[in-house]
Structure formats: C-alpha cells, structure tokens
Amino acid sequence: MAVTGEETESAATGDMPTYQIIRSSQAPPPSSAIAIATSPGGMNLHALGHAHSPQQPTEDVSRKREVRLMKNREAARECRRKKKEYVKCLENRVAVLENQNKTLIEELKALKDIYCHKTA
DNA sequence: TGTGCTCTGCGTCAACGGTT
DNA sequence: AACCGTTGACGCAGAGCACA
C-alpha cells in the first residue's frame, strides 16, 4: 500500500474504535505559512519569567490561553491529518476486498462449471 | 463575467477521558 | 482538582465549477 502512515492489523480489518495509524517520520506541516496569533496583550515569553507587575495574574491567564489555543490548533491539524489517512486506508481496504470478492466469485463459477460437466 | 453552490481546510470551542 | 490530548461540531474563507 502506498499510504505513508502504515495501518495496523486491526485497522485493516476495519473495526477499530479510533484511528490507529502509526505515524511515519514525515515532514511536519507547513507551519511557516501559518500566522501565529499573538495575544491581545502582546504576551512576551521573555518578559514572563521576570514580570511581577500588578496585572501579572491577568497576563498569566492570557498567556495560558494563547498556549492552549496554539496547542489545540496544532492538535486539530494533526487530528484531521490522521482522519484523512484513516479514510484513505479504509478506501484501500474496500478496493482490496472488492477485488477479492470478484476473484472468489469467478473461482466459484469455474468450480460450478467443472462440477456440472462431471455430473452431466 | 458576475453569481450561487459545493468542497476543503482552518481556527476555535466544548466535552470527554486519561494523567499527575 | 488541575491539566492535557483528542475529537466532534460550528462558522468562516478561499478555490473551483456550472450557469445565466
């Protein structure tokens, strides 16, 4: 199969509860093209280690929010990638099974022919 | 060529389960 | 209880396409 992320055996059977796709060491997404949102307060990680201003708790909250948003952004991207790969694997599986089915039907037909000629 | 429709990818939120 | 990762759902923007 030409899919980069190799599916597990359970994935091949088609009855897996979640996407069980082993990640390959592929190139990371083009994150350079993504504008990383900056916090409204203009959070600066360098300043964080030292700042002890009165609004520090607020800054901490917004910094945490920014970090969470950024991580979730990446997570969503990865989740979608995995889902796409999973669907591709399922489609491949369908193709394989359809081929198998066709082969078996032809085999059965041939065997029936042989049987008919023997008994006739 | 402008317009409406569909598809696709993205960011965000919310909910959930697992971990510390 | 707080934190974290995962994922479904939602809305938005841009691309591609058919049609008048």
pLDDT in tens, A13-35: 333 334 543 333 333 333 333 33
Task: Give the pair of three-digit tokens for residue A27.
Answer: 């190139």
Q: Which nucleotides of C are covered by protein (CB under 7 A)?
A: 4-9
Residues A63 and A39 sit within 8 Å (Cβ to Cβ): yes
Confidence (pTM): 0.63
- Give residue numbers, 35 to 94 of A, with CB < 7 Å from strand B: 37, 69-70, 72-73, 76-77, 80, 84
Q: Is A84 left (phi over 0), alpha (psi -120 to 50) or beta?
A: alpha
* pLDDT tens digits for range A46-92: 333 333 455 666 777 888 899 999 999 999 999 999 999 999 999 99
Residues A66 and A40 sit within 8 Å (Cβ to Cβ): no
Helices (H), A16-55: 45-48
